[in-house]
Amino acid sequence: MSDLLKNLISGDALASNFDESKASFNVQEALDEANRCLFCYDAPCITACPTGIDIPGFIKKIASGNMKGSATTIMEANPVGASCSRVCPTEELCEGACVLNNSTKPIPIGDLQRYATDWAIKNEEVLFQSGEKNGKHIAIVGSGPAGLSSARELARLGYEVTIYEAKSEPGGLDTFGIVPFRLPKDISLWEVEQIKQLGVEIKTNMEVGKDIYPEDLVENYDAVVLAIGMSKVPMIGIEGEEFEGIYDAIDLVERTKNGFYEEEFIGKRVAVIGAGNTAIDGATTSVRLGAQNVKIIYRRTEAEMTAYDFEYEFAKQDGVEFRWLTSPKRLISDEYGHVKQMECVRMELKEVGADGRPRPVEIKGSEFLMDVDIIVKAIGQTRHMNLIEGFGLEHNEGVVKIDQETFMTSNPKVYAAGDVIFGKGIGEAMVVSAAQQGKDTALSIHQRLKETTINNV
Ligand SMILES: Cc1cc2nc3c(=O)[nH]c(=O)nc-3n(C[C@H](O)[C@H](O)[C@H](O)COP(=O)(O)OP(=O)(O)OC[C@H]3O[C@@H](n4cnc5c(N)ncnc54)[C@H](O)[C@@H]3O)c2cc1C
Ligand code: SF4
């Protein structure tokens, strides 16, 4: 029996299952690892980090005991560096490029980054100051990693920045979407505080398109940054989706981040539909909510799943089972309208489709029934179409079109960064890339507004 389930049975608070799962380094561990670094000239890890953190620089500062300097080096390059230390797929990024992969084992860059930023959080350090005001005003829609990073850079360049955020708390998916046992909410809210200290105003509970019109922002500000990310999990499109016991993975995680734990999961059989990071988070959350058995149902195979390797390993360690080449066909309910079975069909992979991946095709007559108590839907995210169209922006099925160098959209006053520009084979939905795009967007706006000022003199 897993410790997680024992916690429930022994009456421990369900909440303790959602505590951060990995401990931070202690001083000795941090020093031992920092002192293994070769401090390479032209370090490949810097190039592999989308935000270009001076990794040897921050590690050297840990080794010499300059903790504030270390945290500043990290956060300078990455305004959400504390979150990234916990959620970056480091084996594909910085650690994957470490030269020590060829001999011993890579430097645990993410863990050292966490050690340095945790120090800053514990010591309530304020790391940056705003620039001298230049009289220009920027509106940012969305306070996720992209919006916050853009705001931080613009405030340091002297702009008055107002962020409009639909939710009651800022931080985007770092605050409400990534599971608390990998990224506690407090970490993301500390990053938000760092940005507020620069004078950035964050108006929460302000949904652009409903509480304020897009055209008002475009008219009243010198530039607008659209950093609204993506939206809800879409409908699967099968019979029975309206039954009781069907959850949206992102909503489920958000509830746990806000301290609400669904007791319905205790002792139940859960099927999670999808195999990306959202599905893994939905599955590991279900385990922590006390589910007796959790299966991930995916119509392709392990080779095509989009979840990061470390997420996949994490789920396997949690006892999550995987059913490859399986697709849901319809849901069946009990007499009270609660889901009790899922009809599935086996799939086979055919030639590569337009999306560059093998096309899954049903094997006729292979239908079978699976007993389930709860379904967690995690088949990706829809787009904020209404708002994108409210701004009148060109897009490709909700992926906002930008100039790849300047991040300018089809409206020269509106820029876009983060998940809102991810998709159709462009980019990756990652916190660290959203952060870098936020920074790039800020610099691009600064460049254009500087030019406009000079031309108007
Ligand atoms: C379940 C899950 C797990 C993930 N795990 C990882 C991981 O482990 N590692 C990793 O690197 N990435 C992970 N990601 C991806 C990562 O979270 C995103 O790529 C990143 O958050 C994108 O940042 P963003 O700022 O573009 O958007 P978001 O973080 O989505 O922020 C957008 C913000 O805009 C706000 N908004 C939307 N519409 C409006 C409106 N009309 N008015 C005002 N505000 C609005 C939203 O409320 C939100 O706060 C995960 C994503 C999900 C869904
Ligand atoms: S931000 Fe992410 S990719 Fe960059 S150094 Fe830190 S952990 Fe590695």
For residue 93, which ligand has an atom nearest its CA?
2
How many angstroms is it from 345 CA to the middle of ligand 2?
Answer: 40
**Higher pLDDT pick, 389 / 452:** 389
Q: Is the pTM of this model over 0.85?
A: yes
Label residue 368 left, alpha or beta by phi (over 0 means left) and psi (-120 to 50 means alpha): beta
- State residue 124's pLDDT score: 86
What's phi and psi for 419, nearest 5 deg?
Answer: -60, -20
- Ligand 2 atom closest to Cα of residue 51: 4
At 314-354, the pLDDT tens digits run 999 999 999 999 999 999 999 999 999 999 999 999 988 77
Q: Nearest C-alpha to atom 21 of ligand 1 is from which residue?
A: 173
For residue 53, which ligand has an atom nearest its CA?
2
- Ligand 2 atom closest to Cα of residue 94: 8
Query: Who contacts 446 (Cβ-Cβ below 8 Å, separation ≥6)?
Result: 154, 157, 159
What's phi and psi for 396, nearest 5 deg?
Answer: -115, 95
Q: What is the mean pLDDT of the chain?
A: 94
Query: Who contacts 129 (Cβ-Cβ below 8 Å, separation ≥6)?
Result: 156, 198
Ligand 1 pocket, residue 87 CB under 6 Å: yes
DSSP state of 66: -
Task: Give the integer Cα–Cα distance in Å for 402 and 141.
Answer: 16
* Range of weakest confidence among 57-61, 67-71, 124-128, 270-274: 124-128
Distance from chain centroid for Cα 422 = 12
Task: Give the integer Cα–Cα distance in Å for 412 and 136.
Answer: 16
- C-alpha closest to that of 36 among 106, 87, 123: 106
Task: Give the integer Cα–Cα distance in Å for 163 and 174.
Answer: 16
Kindly write down the DSSP assignment for every residue of 308-342, as one continuous string.
Answer: -HHHHHHHHHTT-EEE-SEEEEEEEE-TTSBEEEE
How many angstroms is it from 176 CA to the middle of ligand 1?
Answer: 9
Q: Nearest C-alpha to atom 11 of ligand 1 is from which residue?
A: 430
Angle at 217 between CA 211 and CA 221, to 5 degrees: 145
Task: Give the integer Cα–Cα distance in Å for 93 and 436.
Answer: 14
* Range of weakest confidence among 4-13, 61-70, 71-80, 446-455: 4-13
Residue of 37, 46, 51, 86 best suited for mutating to test ligand 2, as the one with most atoms within 8 Å of CB:
51
- State residue 357's pLDDT score: 82
Distance in angstroms between the alpha carbons of the first and the last residue of the chain: 73
Angle at 224 between CA 220 and CA 226, to 5 degrees: 140
Q: Nearest C-alpha to atom 4 of ligand 1 is from which residue?
A: 178
Residue 31 has pLDDT above 90, yes or no: yes
- State residue 355's pLDDT score: 74
Confidence of residue 450 (pLDDT cuts 50, 70, 90): confident
- State residue 11's pLDDT score: 45
- C-alpha closest to that of 18 among 219, 257, 186: 257
At 259-282, the pLDDT tens digits run 999 989 999 999 999 999 999 999
How many angstroms is it from 229 CA to the middle of ligand 1?
Answer: 5
Confidence of residue 21 (pLDDT cuts 50, 70, 90): confident
